[in-house]
Amino acid sequence: MSEENQQQLLHLVIGGELSDLESVTFKDLKAVDIVGVYPNYAAAYDVWKQKAQQTVDNAEMRYFIVHLHRLLDPEAVKP
């Protein structure tokens, strides 16, 4: 299957300092790092890992992968 014909499973990588490590509440929404949108999980994971390793010294900093394709097309998600 060519790259043009492959289904896009979009993923968003974001991160920032959390106000509480037990939840996903950012300290400052204006400071959230919107890293980018990626065409598949593997590409998003590579960027997530890189960003997480860059901030390893900040215990309050977390990066996340958001499965945009599940939000955009919830009917396509298998149970």
CB neighbours (10 Å) of residue 72?
Answer: 11
Query: Under a CB-based contact definition with an 8 Å cutoff, are residues 65 and 39 in contact?
Result: no
d(CA 65, CA 67): 6
Tens-place pLDDT, residues 8-64: 899 999 999 999 888 888 999 999 999 999 999 999 999 999 999 999 889 889 999
Give the range with max mean pLDDT: 1-5, 34-38, 74-78. Answer: 34-38
68/58 Cα distance (integer angstroms) = 27
Length of the chain, in residues: 79
Instruction: Compute how many other C-beta atoms are within 10 angstroms of the C-beta atom of residue 75.
Output: 4
